[in-house]
Amino acid sequence: MLTEEDARRLVLAEIDTMRGRAEYDLQIHRVEALPFGWIFYWGAVRDGRRPLLGGNGPFLVDRENERLIGLPTHTPVSHQIADYERRLRRESHARNLAAAKQAAQQRGTPAPGPA
**pLDDT score of 11 more than 90:** yes
Beta strand 37-45 pairing with 25-34: antiparallel
**pLDDT score of 50 more than 80:** no
Q: What integer pLDDT is reported at residue 77 of this predicted model?
A: 93
User: How big is the CA angle at 54 (ends 49 and 55), to the nearest 5 degrees?
Assistant: 125
Distance CA(81)–CA(87), nearest Å, equals 10
| pTM for the whole structure | 0.76
The CA–CA distances, whole Å, from 105 to 73, 92, 98, 112 equal 46, 20, 11, 10
DSSP 8-state class, residue 114: -
Which of the given ranges, 80-84, 91-95, 104-108, has the highest pLDDT on average? Answer: 80-84
DSSP 8-state class, residue 64: T
Task: Report the pLDDT averaged over residues 7-19.
Answer: 90
User: How big is the CA angle at 49 (ends 47 and 54), to the nearest 5 degrees?
Assistant: 115
- Count of CB atoms situated within 10 Å of the CB of 99: 10
